[in-house]
Chain A
Amino acid sequence: MTLSIFIQNVMNALQWGSFYALIALGYSMVYGVLLLINFAHGDIFMVGAYIGFFISTFLLGAYGFQLPWKLSGGLVIFLTFLLTMALTAGVGVAIERVAYRPLRRKGVSRLYLVITALMVGLLLENGNLALLGASRRNFPELIPKVLYSVGGVNFSNTKIIVIIVTLLVFVFLQTVVLKTKWGMAMRAISYDRMAVPLMGVPVDTIIVMTFVLGSSMAAVAGILFAVSYPVLEPYMGALVGWKAFIAAVVGGIGEIRGAIAGGFILGFTEIFVATVFPSTFRDLIAFGVLLLILTLRPNGIFGIARRTKV
């Protein structure tokens, strides 16, 4: 492997790692607060990509409907991100309200919540299929592709954007969790949920905020993914979602740093396995490696063993 190919692969690994990391964040945050594995989260990523598709095509005037004023390219990008994040967050919160909260109120075992989450995921996939049909959609070229070539390494601007946005999201979420009172409440809930209302903290509000953050990050991932690989289909979130979930577990579920680390580890293993072995081996070996990591560190890289309470 020459150096330029190696660097090329590092770039690809960082890009895929970014997608996994952005989705893994949502799994991780919701788990941290609710101890719920929100299996619908991969499909929220898909919903985010679709919402991004409709908003960007609308803003670009693809529906024979012209906005009364002309939007600059930058503004279209900005508005697409903003509106998509807001609407996807709305979807995440709605799922929490309709599917998870009533069960939580009844104090049912977490197992039922996880199964409900799986069903919600299937509902989103098949709801999309029923509403929009099986045809794939082409995401518009929201960010015009520019190709750079530096010392024999070829890369596009979208790759760089994906990586930078992921790092910004990481810094933003770390700040929220470590420096704000909402983040403090989220950490407190993950330690002892029963004691949190005793502090005068509205637990449901914190849970809603967690879903807002997780779902809007899935929306960011959805748009970035669609910009890089502009074909949308209803099941696009299923496999990526599963992989991101595994990334979250490998990093240590419930930890922001864990989600990021796990995402990048998965990205690197996948890409580099594929450079050495036939591509059909990719997932087999990648997950074998992750299994090995979990065997050595069952709580994940940044995870700590949860104190079990009597």
Chain B
Amino acid sequence: MLLCVEDLRVGYGPIEALHGITFGVREGEIVTLIGANGAGKSTTLMSIMRLPPPEAPVYHSGKMIFEGRDLTQFSPHHVVSRLGISLVPEGRRIFGNLTVWENLKIAAYAHEDRQEIQKKTKRIFGLFPRLEERRHQAADTLSGGEQQMLSVARAMMTGGRMMLLDEPSMGLAPFLMYELFHVLKEINQQGTTILLVEQNARIALKYAHRGYVLETGNILLEGDARELAKDEKVKKAYLGE
């Protein structure tokens, strides 16, 4: 396992948000966490990134191990810069007051190796030619779809080992959504492990290898993505069939 989460309990103030969830992600996989609003999907990702409260939850107990290292010992920027885990946050969270190019540069903040940055930049612009065209534009002038691309591009720049994505399909037109998932598949094939949180279970299960169903802070189901898509309960609750 590349990432191993065991009996994780976290909460906001006195309220516990995750009641001891256990799941794992193997090297090279695309794993998805699906579930309704408030199931704890974003909470799980923010816990892994070690983001501080009040936006993110407070860690209570349980294990989070990445490549044999205890994540609870890392500060958020070290999770990114030392372990190579990146998060594409819900709502994109691009820096609208910076240019597209500056958004990528700040994502390379912790990198020293210029050649490595150049290589990554080339890869990013290869996948997202629109961003290269607009690199001198302020990021808040981009369309919603382009902002999502920029958010993914930033995550590619910071990390490389593993990418977490929080609702990347939100607010995207269907064709843009498929374009995005196509790119994610390519990023995965180039060697980045992906943990994907989605409300759109249909598309998530289509692209993922494995999936977990999260409900009110507990893991309800887990399994091969294709099997899950056929599961009666999943079909009824998340695929609307």
Contacts and interface: CB of A to CB of B under 8 A. Distances in A.
Interface string B192-212: 000000000000000000000
Contacts of A188: 95, 97-98, 106
A190 B155 CA distance: 20
Contacts of B33: none
Contacts, number: 75
B107 interface: yes
B86 A198 contact: yes
Given A184-B102, A188-B95, A195-B95, A203 B89 contact: no
A192 B80 contact: no
A187 interface: yes
Contacts of A192: 93, 95
Report the contact-size class of chain B (Cβ under 8 Å from the partner).
20 to 34
Interface string A186-198: 0110111011111
B9 interface: no
A181 B77 contact: no
B24 to A, nearest CB: 23
B109 A198 contact: no
B52 interface: yes
Nearest to A108: B54
B106 A198 contact: no
A199 B98 contact: no
Interface string B77-120: 10011000011010001111110001001110111000000000
B129 interface: no
Contact of B109 (A187, A194, A195, A200): A200
A182 to B, nearest CB: 9
B53 interface: yes
Interface in B27-72: 49, 51-55
Contact of B53 (A107, A198, A201): A107
A200 B51 contact: no
Contacts of B77: 197, 199-203
A107 B107 CA distance: 25
B96 A200 contact: no
A195 B93 CA distance: 6
6 contacts: A181-B105, A181-B106, A187-B98, A199-B107, A201-B109, A202-B77
Given A194-B93, A198-B158, A199-B158, 10 more contacts: A185-B106, A187-B98, A194-B89, A195-B94, A198-B86, A199-B107, A200-B77, A200-B81, A201-B109, A307-B96
